[in-house]
Structure 1
Amino acid sequence: MSQPQRIVIIGAGLAGASAAAGLRDRGYSGEIIVLGNETHQPYELPALSKALLLGDAEEPDWVREDGFYQQHDIDLRLGVNATRVELGARKVLDDQGAEHRYDRLLLATGSQPRRLPIAGADSPSVRTLRTLDDSLALRESFGSIERAVIIGAGWIGTEVAAAARRHGVEVTVVDRIAAPLLPVLGAEVAGVFQNLHSENGVQWRLNAEISEISGDTVRLGDGKELPAELAVMAVGAAPRVDLAHAAGLELADDGGVAVDAALRTAAPDVYAAGDIASQFHPRLGRRVRVEHWANAKNQGTHVAGNLIGEAEPYLNSPYFFSDQYDLGCEYRGLADPDTDELVVRGDLAKREFIAFWLRDGRVSAAMNVNVWDDGDALKRLVDGRLAVSPQTLREGDLSSVE
C-alpha cells in the first residue's frame, strides 16, 4: 500500500485527534486535515463526569498540549461540520462550503446523547452530558439548585448523581431497571453501587417509567410527581452515523459503522474508529462497538498505522474506569452477567474486591474496586481469556495463572 498524500479525518474528538497525532508520531509527512464541529481544542471525556463536574478541575485533559497541531502541521478546523462524503469522488464537503479531497479517510464522528421520546424531553430544564460546555453548565447549575432528577442509572447517571451530591443537591435517580448498572454488572455487584449511593443520600425510583417532564416536575408512569429544578437525561448515547449512512457505508446491527479487524470499512481507503466503529474483534470472534474513553483513544492511535500502510488488527480488550464518592473501579473485558458465572475475590460489603465473570471456565471480564495492585494480572487474564478455576480467582496468586 503506497503512502497517501492527504488524509482527511472527520471528527476532532479523542479518536480523531489521537489518529492525527499518531500519524505524525509515526513519521507521516503528508497532509492531514481534521474537521471538528466543536470550537474547543480536542479533549478527553472522563473528566466531564468526574473531576470537572465535581469541581476538582477547571479544564479537561487535552489530547495534546496547546500548539501541538500547528507545530506538527495538522490542519485542525474547529467549528466545522462535514456535510457529505462522496466515496466515488473521494471527497468530503463541509458546511463552510469547502471541499476536501482525500487519499485516505477516517470517520471518527463519535456519539450523541439519547433523549427519551416523552413530552418535555427537550425543555430547557432537561440537560444532557456529552461536551465540555455541557459539563461546565451543569456544574454551575448544581451550585444554585436544591433538587435534581437523574434519568438513567448507568455509568454517566451514577457519576452525575455523585457529583450532584458533592454540591449538596438533593438527588433522585429514576430508571426502568431494578438496580443501577444492572445490565453491566448483574444484581450482586450492582447492589454495591446502589448501597453506596443510598448511604450518600441518593433516592431511587427504580422499575419506573417517566411519562412527562413539565416545568419543575418529572412525572412517572404511575402518576407520581418528582419536584426537580433540573433533570439530567443519562439514557445512553447513539453513534453519529448519519454521514456514513448517507455515503452508503454498511451499518452493523449494533448501529455502528461495520469495520474489519483493522478498522477498515468495505469502501476503499475508508476507516472508522471510536464510538461509531463496529469492529470484528479477533479475540472475541464477533462484532463489538465500545463507547468508552480508552477505546476511542487506543483505536485512534492504532488506526494511524493502518492509514499509512499497515493492516494490523486492533486487539485491545474494552476498558473503562469510574470514580464515585470513595469508590474507584476499573473494568476490563465484556461480560454477560445474565449468563456468565460471577466470582468475587475480597469483600463486597467493604467495597474492596475484584469481580470476575467466567464464561466456559474462562475470564470474560474483571472489575477491581478499591484494589489497585493486580491490574497487570487482570489485563492478562482478560486479554488471554485464560481458563482458571473459581477457587484460584478467589484465593490464589493471580500473577501465576497461565
Structure 2
Amino acid sequence: MNRPIPYEFEPRPGPAGMQQIVIIGAGHAGFQCCASLRQEGFGGKILLVGDEASLPYQRPPLSKAYLLAKASASDLHFRPERFFQDQHVQLVRTRVESIDRTAQRISLQSGQRIAYDHLVIATGSSPRKMALQGADLDGVVGLHTLGDADGLRPRLQPGRRAVVAGAGFIGLEFAAVARTLGLDVTVIDVAARALARAVSPECARTIADSHTEKGTRLLFGCGVSALEGRNGKIAAVHTADGKTLPADIVVVGIGAQPRTQLATQAGLAVDNGISVDEKLLTSDPAISAIGDVAGFPDAASGRRIRLESVQNASDQARSAAARLMGKAVSHNAVPWFWSDQGDIKLQIAGLRSVDDEHVVLPEPQGQAHTVLCIRNERLAAVETINRPGDHMLARRLLAKGVRLTAEQARAPAFQLRDLH
C-alpha cells in the first residue's frame, strides 16, 4: 500500500529543492523542530508523526503540577490545534513501523507510506522496566506519558502507601508531590545516595535532607528483590536487604533508554543512542536525529554523550532546523537541567564528572547554596539550589569557558559574579 496522506497545502521547495520533511516523534524535540523550520522560513511540507493520541505536550509538569491537579491536559499542550493548521504542519497520530532509506520513505502502522526529502528522528527515550515477576501488577506504574499520569492521579489519596523505586529526578519529584498530597512515601535506590549520577554529594545531601524533613523515608544501597501481589494488585515490595514495605502504589523511576529500534532496523549507526555528528546528521545524510535519542560529540569533554533534557531537545531541534535551511551550524550548546521537588528548585548548568573538585559557596540562608564543579582549572558545571540568579550567571560563564581553580573559589571574598 502506498496511499499518500491528504495534505492541503501548496509547498514552496526549500534548500536543494527539499519539498517534504518528516519528523518522527512529537515530543519536545519533534515539536520544536517543526516550529523552528517554519520560523527559519521553510515553505515545504512538514509532517509530524507521533504515537500518542493527544496534541504534542510538555512532559516535565506530569510529575509535578499535573499530578497536583494544578494543570489540565490542555495546559500541557505546546500549542492548540489551530497552531498546526496555521503553520501547515500535518499531525499524524500513529506508530511508525519502519524506515526505507533507499526509497526515502517511512511505513506507518496503518500500512500507509510517506516519502521524505529529509527525515528527522526525535523518538526520545522510554522508561526502563523492572525485570521482576509482578511488574505487571495493578498499582506498579511508570510516569512518562500523559496516560501514565492520568492513571496515577486517582490513586494519590491521603494515607495510601507509595514506594518509589529510584531516587532520580522523576522518583524524587513524585515523592515530593505524594507527600504534599498526604501519602506515606518510601524511596529506595541501589546507589549510596540520591541523584547519584546527576549531582555532587554535597548537593545530593541537601536534597535528601529536605525530603527526609518532610517525612519521606529514603533507603539507599538496596534494590527491589520482589514484588508481592494480592488479588492482582501490588501489596508489598521486598528489598534485597530483607525489608518488606507495604505498598498500594509502586512508582518505577529507574532510568530510561533511547528509542533506537527504528534506526537499528534501518541500519543507521547506533551507540548509546543514534550516532550523529556535530551537525546532528546520522550515518545517512538524509536523516537527522535530535533529542534524547541522539548520541552526539561533546566538545567540552571530547566524548560522545546523550542527554535527556528539555533544553537539549529544544536546542538540537533549533540547530537541525537552521542547518536544513542552509545555515552553517555546529551544535555546541551548554547543557542545563532543572528539577522542582517541593520547596527545592535544583538547577544544573554544564556536565559534572566524578573527578571534579567541588567547592560549595557560602550559604546565606536555609537550603540555598551553589556548588562549583572544577576540572583542569576550568569551571565545568554549576549546581544551584534555590539560587536562580547564580544558575543564569553560570550558563553565561560556561559558554565563555572561564578559568577557575579550587583555591580561587575557596577564597573568603570569592563570588561567582567576579568571573563575569
Whether TM exceeds 0.5 here: the answer is yes
C-alpha deviations, 1:5-35, integer Å up to 9, x for none? 1101111111011101111111111011111
2:274 equivalent to 1:269: no
SS in 2 for 1:32: strand
- Within the candidate set 206, 221, 225, 2:240 is matched to 221
Counterpart position of 2:403:
387
TM-score if structure 2 supplies the norm length? 0.91
- Quote the offset at 1:132 in angstroms: 1.3
Cα deviation, 1:96-122, whole Å, max 9, x if unaligned, reads: 111011110000001111012112122
Match of residue 115 from structure 1: 129
Q: What is the CA distance between 1:311 and its match in structure 2? A: 3.9
* C-alpha RMSD of matched pairs (Å): 1.7
**1:244 — aligned with what?**
263
Indicate which of 371, 376, 385 corresponds to 1:360: 376
Aligned-pair distance for 1:74? 0.6
Given the alignment, which residue of 248, 251, 256 partners 2:273?
Answer: 256
Distance 2:356 2:237 in 1: 36
Contact 2:164 2:186 survives alignment (8 Å): yes
Is structure 2 residue 233 aligned with structure 1 residue 206? no
Please report how far the alpha carbon of residue 370 of structure 1 lies from its aligned counterpart in structure 2 after TM superposition. 1.0
User: 1:372: which partner in 2?
Assistant: 388
Residue type of the alignment partner of 2:78: V
Q: Secondary structure at the match of 2:374?
A: strand
Residue equivalent to 1:294: 311
Residues 232, 376 of structure 1: alpha-carbon distance in 2 compared, 3 angstrom cutoff: closer
Match of 1:324 in 2: 341
- 1:7 counterpart = 2:21: yes
Letter in 2 for 1:69: F
- Residue 346, structure 1, aligned to residue 365, structure 2: no
Which of these residues, 44, 58, 77, is aligned with residue 92 of structure 2?
77
Residue 48 (1) aligns with residue 67 (2):
no
What is the distance in 2 between the residues matched to 1:52 and 1:393?
40
Q: 1:311 to 1:247 in 2, by over 3 A?
A: farther
- How big is each residue's C-alpha offset from its partner over 1:27-81, in whole Å with a ceiling of 9 and x where there is no partner? 1110111110001111111111121123322234322234101111111112x00
AA aligned to 1:332 is A
State the SS of the aligned residue for 1:53: coil
Cα deviation, residue 144, structure 1: 6.1
Alignment of 1:102-181 (within 5 A): 102-143=116-157, 146-181=160-195
| Structure 2 residue corresponding to 1:62, chosen from 60, 67, 77 | 77
Deviation at 1:251, TM superposition (A): 0.7
Q: How many Å separate the matches in 2 of 1:87 and 1:378?
A: 42
Contact 2:292 2:313 in 1 (8 A): yes
Letter in 2 for 1:33: L
Distance (Å, rounded) in 2 between the aligned partners of 1:335 and 1:47: 25
Alignment of 1:11-26 (within 5 A): 11-26=25-40
Which AA in structure 1 matches 2:375? R
Provide TM-score, normalisation by structure 1.
Answer: 0.95
Which ranges in structure 1 are unaligned for 5 or more consecutive residues? none
> Is contact 2:126–2:256 with CA below 8 Å preserved after alignment?
yes
Q: 2:412 matched to 1:398?
A: no
What is the CA-CA distance between 1:210 and the residue it aligns to? 1.1
Number of paired residues? 398
8 Å Cα contact 2:158-2:181 kept in structure 1: no
Identity percentage of aligned residues: 35
- Partner of 1:136, secondary structure, is helix
**CA distance in structure 1 between the aligned counterparts of 2:113 and 2:349, rounded to whole angstroms:** 41
CA shift at 1:158, angstroms? 0.6
Once residues 304 and 419 of structure 2 are traced to their aligned partners in structure 1, the CA distance between those partners, rounded to angstroms, is 28
Letter in 2 for 1:77: V
Q: Relative to structure 1, is the Cα distance of residues 285 and 27 closer, same or farther in structure 2, using a 3 angstrom cutoff?
A: same
Q: Secondary structure at the match of 1:51?
A: coil
- 1-side partners of 2:418 and 2:293: how far apart? 37
State the Cα deviation string for residues 355-377 of structure 1 (Å, max 9, x = none).
Answer: 11011111111012111223342
**Matching residue within 197, 200, 222 for 1:183:** 197
Amino acid at match of 1:179: R
What is the one-letter code of the residue matched to 2:257? A
Tell me the distance in 2 between the aligned counterparts of 1:140 and 1:3: 51
Comparing 230-239 and 308-317, the one that deviates more = 308-317
Deviations 1:113-162 (A, max 9, x none): 10121121222221000011212322221126610100000111111100
Contact 1:281 1:315 in 2 (8 A): yes
Q: 2:325 aligns with which of 305, 308, 328?
A: 308
> Gapped runs of 5+ residues in structure 2?
1-14, 230-234
CA distance in 2, matches of 1:314, 1:199: 42
Query: For 2:144, what is the secondary structure of its paired residue?
Result: coil
Which amino acid in 1 is paired with 2:54? Answer: H
- CA distance in structure 1 between the partners assigned to 2:319 and 2:87 by the alignment: 19
Partner of 1:98: 112
Asked whether the 8 Å contact 1:11–1:37 carries over to 2, the reply is yes
The 10-residue stretch of structure 1 (33-42 or 381-390) with the greater mean CA deviation from structure 2:
381-390
Contact 1:149 1:173 in 2 (8 A): yes
Corresponding residue number in structure 2 for 1:281? 298
What secondary structure is seen at the aligned counterpart in 1 of 2:340?
A: strand
Paired with 2:379 and 2:290, the residues of 1 have a C-alpha distance of 26
